[in-house]
Structure 1
């Protein structure tokens, strides 16, 4: 008998930042997230995504950006700086433009991964690395204009 998965989904994520107020302003301005409540001195900030899920921005003096190196991501097993979180968007082109205007590190161009959609890797001002993807657009096949008529 197979065991039922006991984890349902990721409810929230915790991100290390060096300046909570500056990071919250960046996440609002660049990514369009909403600040849940005013920031209290010495505490973090809660940013709300469109889905209602939360990103906690927590003070991390000295910085400890989210990313790690893996050899399990590329075909040739070469080292790759991995993103621990992949976000979904409905408008990757607008996000690309907003990220470029902010001046953060990001890939040169949006990648079309076919059935895996459009993808883009970027870093926030603290160096936290993320991927964002947009579901592929499925174009319905054209229906024949002829109709079958039974005799």
Structure 2
């Protein structure tokens, strides 16, 4: 068999939420995603990102946020609550402001990770933890 990767990209992601309607409204209001079609009772919602990729918000009763702890993310091997998904943005500062106005949990400041770009960790109202990333300063991102 050839050494060609058989996976091309992530087409969509499935997120557990307690209240699909409330979560869809939050993703629309705070993150600017678009609802693909009206929400049917007992069903999920499809949110469309700027790239056209989909996020499915699926009902999950009492809620079970995405996430896990790892010791492979810190220099000292201490446990770290990992984010299973890292998004890309063209406006990380605007996102930081929108998350702050919404009262979302997030890191206090946007981190400049040099060649790894600008980064920010945050959670949605259901406790799903994510990272958002913007191109590094050297690649054309204006400095703060």
Which interval holds the TM-score relative to the shorter structure? Answer: over 0.9
Cα deviation, 1:28-81, whole Å, max 9, x if unaligned, reads: 000000000000000000000000000000000010001100000011111000
State the Cα distance separating 1:2 from its structure 2 match: 5.3
Q: Where does residue 58 of structure 2 map in the other structure?
A: 58
Structure 1 ranges of 4+ moved more than 6 A: none
State the Cα distance separating 1:92 from its structure 2 match: 0.2
CA contact (8 A) 2:44 2:58 kept: yes
Q: Where does residue 132 of structure 2 map in the other structure?
A: 132
Q: Where does residue 5 of structure 1 map in the other structure?
A: 5
How many residues are aligned here?
Answer: 140
Matches within 5 A, 1:1-151: 3-138=3-138
The normalised TM-score by structure 2 is 0.94
Unaligned 5+ residue runs, structure 2? none
Name the SS for the 1:42 alignment partner. Answer: coil
Cα deviation, 1:81-103, whole Å, max 9, x if unaligned, reads: 00000000000000000000000
